[in-house]
């Protein structure tokens, strides 16, 4: 996989990349609308403070985790290919969109911890929460390491050349991890809602909406990865 190859690609390749990027933008917009529809319309809305309905604080969590480390991070990854700007401007957009993704994600984690503390629920007991904490920590680490290496103060040209492919691969792996964490989160919340005391019916419209949102998020993950990687046609010649 050569993630850097498309810069000099032919115009037909460029059209294919543009089409794949567009699919990712549409799925990102759809996922945002669906998660808002769920949390605002079905779950009663969003709030960082609430005396009598702590669930409103929880509701911020899925919304912010989807908009931050998934939608904004996806747009940051795509921006090298989707923005008609100079390379330097795209680099700043990439950096800033990831910073926004990280900040929104940090607020989403804060909201769910606040919800747990105020409702007397223990912290960090589930697989989702363990993988979630790892994901957001690695995301912060990747951002800081990339900032120091590629932006300020910046490493030597040789170090930047050597580390950039690893940055791109780890960046995509992290993005996939965020998508996987969100899948676990949707499943866990739906399991809570279908158990006591709510006992939501298995095929309730809201249950279908949550599952459908998770599928759109999964497809968004696939679209971002497919728009970013380049399949190297020379790699498997030896076994033909
Ligand atoms: C990148 C995406 C996400 C990350 C990094 C993440 C991270 C976390 C973390 C660290 C916790 C533990 C908080 C604590 O122990 O106090 C948590 C809790 C929770 N999250 Fe997420 N989350 C993400 C997306 C989602 C989504 C989309 C949902 C969908 C509803 C969700 C549902 C939940 C639920 C139900 C809990 C409470 C139960 C538990 O602690 O496992 N999460 N999340
Ligand atoms: C957690 C945050 C970050 C993630 C997940 C991430 C992820 C990625 C990915 C997946 C690529 C490959 C894009 C492509 O091939 O089209 C990439 C490229 C790049 N990233 Fe990041 N990145 C992050 C933060 C940063 C920061 C803070 C900088 C600092 C300037 C940076 C600098 C770059 C550069 C210079 C490229 C190469 C672009 C090119 O010339 O094609 N990244 N990043």
- Give residue-wise pLDDT tens across range 144-157: 999 999 999 999 99
More confident residue, 169 or 20: 169
- What is the pLDDT, as a whole number, of residue 136? 98
From the CA atom positions of the chain, what is the Rg in Å? 20
Instruction: Take atom 6 of ligand 1 and give the residue whose Cα is closest.
Output: 132
Backbone angles phi, psi at 48, to 5 degrees: -90, -25
- Give residue-wise pLDDT tens across range 91-111: 999 999 999 999 999 999 999
> What does the block give as tokens for 154?
């910046």
| pLDDT > 70 in the chain, percent | 94
- Checking if the pLDDT of 8 tops 50, the result is no
> What does the block give as tokens for 87?
């390379």
Pick from 83, 86, 74, 81: nearest CA to 222: 74
- Give residue-wise pLDDT tens across range 112-123: 999 999 999 999
Distance CA 161, CA 150 (A): 10
Distance CA 218, CA 7 (A): 27
211 lines ligand 1 (CB under 6 A): no
Query: Burial level of 142, CB count in 10 A (0-12/13-18/19+)?
Result: middle
- What is the pLDDT, as a whole number, of residue 231? 83
In eight-state DSSP terms, residue 7 is G
127 lines ligand 1 (CB under 6 A): no
Residue 145 CA, ligand 1 centroid: distance in Å: 25
Residue 136 CA, ligand 1 centroid: distance in Å: 11
Distance of CA 152 to the CA centre of its chain: 25
Residue 229 CA, ligand 1 centroid: distance in Å: 29
128 lines ligand 1 (CB under 6 A): yes
182 lines ligand 1 (CB under 6 A): yes
Distance CA 71, CA 101 (A): 8
pLDDT class for 124, splitting at 50, 70, 90? very high
- What is the pLDDT, as a whole number, of residue 233? 81
- The model carries a pTM of 0.94
Pick from 111, 162, 152, 154: nearest CA to 132: 111
């Amino acid at each position: 996989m050569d993630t850097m190859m498309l810069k000099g690609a032919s115009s037909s390749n460029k059209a294919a990349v543009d089409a794949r990027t567009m699919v990712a933008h549409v799925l990102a917009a759809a996922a945002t609308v669906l998660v808002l529809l769920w949390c605002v319309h079905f779950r009663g809305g969003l709030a960082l403070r609430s005396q009598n309905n702590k669930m409103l604080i929880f509701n911020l969590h899925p919304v912010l985790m989807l908009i931050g480390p998934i939608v904004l991070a996806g747009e940051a990854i795509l921006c090298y290919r989707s923005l008609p700007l100079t390379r330097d401007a795209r680099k700043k957009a990439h950096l800033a969109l990831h910073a926004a993704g990280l900040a929104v994600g940090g607020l989403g984690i804060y909201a769910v911890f606040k919800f747990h503390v105020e409702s007397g629920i223990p912290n960090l007991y589930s697989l989702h929460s363990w993988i979630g904490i790892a994901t957001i920590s690695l995301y912060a680490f990747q951002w800081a390491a990339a900032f120091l290496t590629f932006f300020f103060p910046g490493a030597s040209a040789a170090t930047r050349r050597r580390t950039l492919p690893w940055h791109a691969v780890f960046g995509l792996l992290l993005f996939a991890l965020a998508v996987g964490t969100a899948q676990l989160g949707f499943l866990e919340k739906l399991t809570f809602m279908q158990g006591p005391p709510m006992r939501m019916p298995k095929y309730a419209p809201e249950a279908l909406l949550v599952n459908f949102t998770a599928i759109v998020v999964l497809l968004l993950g696939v679209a971002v990865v497919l728009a970013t990687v380049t399949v190297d046609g020379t790699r498997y010649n030896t076994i033909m």
